[in-house]
Structure formats: C-alpha cells, structure tokens
Amino acid sequence: MKKLLFVAAFLMATVAASAQGWWAGGGIGYFYEKPKGAPGGINSFSFAPEAGYDFNDKWGVAAAIGYSGEIDKSLATNMTQSTHGFFIQPYVRYKFAHLGNATFFVDGIVQYGYDVTETKGGGFTTKDDGHSAKVGVCPGFAYAFCDKAVLACRFGFLGYQHDGLANSNGFGFDFSSYNLGLSMYFAL
C-alpha cells in the first residue's frame, strides 16, 4: 500500500511574554492514500483551532473544536464512502518539567464528537451516524522558539474511548497517534 503524506500546516496569532496568559493555536491537516490495486484513493482532512489560558508555569486550561472528513473511493468501482464529523475537547494541562526552551506536559482531556458516514454506489445510499467520547490523558512536549511562538506535540492516549459509529467501547493506551500544533501567546 503506497501512502503519501502531503501536508500538516499550522497557523496562529500574537504577543505576551510570561508564563501566564491567553494563547491560541491549532492545526490543519491533509492525508492522501492510494491502496495498491484500488479503483481510487482516500482523502482525509482536518481543521482544529484551539485556545487556552495558562494560570502559571505549571497549570493551564484550554479547549479545541475540530472538524474532520474522509472521502474514500478505494472500496469498489463507482462506490464512495464519506465520513464527516466534529469534536469539542476541553482539557487541563499540567507542565511537570522544563528543560531550557522545552516543556514536558500531560493533558487531562474530555472529548465529545459526532460523525456521519454515507456510502453511495451500486444504485443505493446508506447513512450511519454516531456519538463518540474520550476521557483520559495525553503526554506531550512543547518547544518555545521565542516567548510568543510554541510548537506543541501530543503523543499517545491513555484512557477510555467510546465510538458510536463502530459501536465499541474500550480502555487502554495507544502510543501510535500524535498531534502537532503551533500556538502563539498574546496578552489582553
């Protein structure tokens, strides 16, 4: 299976020079995959802005709101499956170690999402939808390029997940996922 990772871009806003204050960040992503022998490819995209407030050099709160979609034309000739969804994810961040410009943290997250999948082809259309939920922790690190720009990366998840589309529940850890974003600090 040949995969092409096309873009992960990040864009944000301005100003502030202390360990406390408001910040904004987030990410935009795109992924294209063309399975070998498949009639078409799979396009995935996401958009997830977030904003937060750091109380001090240890504690902060934030929330992300995201939209993602996938259009899959790899199933069969003249068949398309589309999945679109949104999520809201408030979280608390605890920064437990600082090493120069690097900060190591853990985010305690609560996430709610809603997804809709539609399959078209062969003269029929089916629709399915489901709610999802996530409660757990995500470790990560941040690197401050200056006092206004911070690149943050979460890797993995430990906790409970419910997937309404797949009708599944689970508890465990997954260190195969990561989330990369750029944040800018600003003062009000």
Q: What is the pLDDT of residues 26-75, one digit of tens each?
A: 888 888 888 888 888 889 998 999 999 999 999 999 999 999 999 998 87
Could you tell me the pTM of the whole model? Answer: 0.76
Tokens read off for 16:
């502030």
Dump pLDDT digits (tens) for 94-129.
Answer: 999 999 999 999 999 999 999 999 999 888 899 999
Nearest Cα neighbor of 19 from 56, 47, 66, 51 is: 56
Residue keyed to tokens 């902060």: 60
CB contact at 8 A, 188 and 24: no
Per CATH, domain 2-186 is 3.40.50.300:
no
d(CA 66, CA 169) in angstroms, rounded, equals 22
Dump pLDDT digits (tens) for 130-148.
Answer: 999 999 999 999 998 887 8
- Long-range interactions of 92-95: CB distance < 8 A, separation 24+: 92/59, 92/60, 92/61, 93/52, 93/54, 93/59, 93/60, 93/61, 93/62, 94/58, 94/59, 95/57, 95/58, 95/59, 95/60, 95/142
pLDDT band, residue 88 (cuts 50/70/90):
very high
